[in-house]
Structure 1
């Protein structure tokens, strides 16, 4: 029996309107996207040195930030994070979100649980969103509270990023209701 070789990761930093994005991936696909400044050694500065899967992800993200609707016709970059490879509830929820909630759409935690086959799993869906290793590609920013509130993003440290991403994808109106931010779409 042959042992599967470990991934050789490459890392690249991409500037975006929501801040610096740190991407890591191997020749089989993307492993992680981290939003925000995080300095790691081994960053590749010449994108010509990137493997083809990581280069495809950079191109996808650049198009998304130019025009979110433009990526609707593009295939998603390949994903190779171990969390996304199995049959766990988290993996199933993340794959369902990626394949069924498109640019400009939103879904509640409860609705996503229903879509994934477990209508009583709203809290577990929230846990899956917190563990999402590839935000933007698996669009956890499109998941809202049933009340219409935006909910937490990046542990509450990226709430304004979530609002920006939703606004970038479609027209919206922000309403402050009893001190809470509520997102309404037109």
Structure 2
């Protein structure tokens, strides 16, 4: 089992999204963008310092086309004045849905949500997920707890997934139950199943 010091050193050595957390920062000038995606409208908020939140639509029915890549992924609201983190976010999500092979070449936007600006178990788990669980992969809550250096904290990992403010980019949909069941998801089980199916299909295509 890794000691906490070893885990901290390992975490520090990885590439993680930029986080700006200077004290006494002025209030954010928040911008909002709506991205029309294959799974519906995705609401994105953020400022010049980073993303605040990604809100996913709750799906009541699966979209047409199974989990095929779709060319329909465009900003439909808020395109006039987008700070750099929102531009990077929309480009990243467009690639995720429409050109998955290019996702790895794009920068991950900076994050500027309070949960991701302070040292905590939740932040450590979310960054471990972002760094270690790649496109087309899945891990159990127990496995993610082990990766984060807290082998007995599977239940706490579930709590961390529920408060993830940047879904898809921080891929909490890739965390499933040990039984293989997909488990819960803030935007609904149907969307979680679609995202997992989308990634599996695209990974198989890339491997051909």
TM-score bucket of the superposed structures, by smaller chain? 0.7 to 0.9
Secondary structure of 2:51's aligned partner: strand
2:48 — aligned with what? 27
Unaligned runs of 5+ in 1: 38-43, 173-186
1:10-159 correspondence runs (5 A): 10-36=31-57, 45-154=77-186, 158-159=188-189
Number of positions where the alignment pairs a residue of Structure 1 with one of Structure 2: 163
Q: Matched residues in 2 for 1:45 and 1:18: separation?
A: 16
Q: Answer whether contact 1:93 1:128 (CA < 8 A) is retained.
A: yes
Residue-by-residue CA offset, 1:83-135 (whole Å, 9 max, x unaligned): 01111100100011001111011111000000111001010000000000010
Unaligned runs of 5+ in 2: 1-22, 59-75, 203-208
Q: Matched residues in 1 for 2:100 and 2:184: separation?
A: 22
- TM superposition score normalised by structure 1: 0.83
Q: Matched residues in 2 for 1:141 and 1:89: separation?
A: 19
Q: Which deviates more from structure 2 when the two are superposed, residues 64-73 or residues 115-124?
A: 64-73
- TM superposition score normalised by structure 2: 0.74
Q: Matched residues in 1 for 2:78 and 2:118: separation?
A: 33
Structure scoring higher RCO (CA < 8 A, sep ≥ 6) equals 2
1:161 — aligned with what? 191
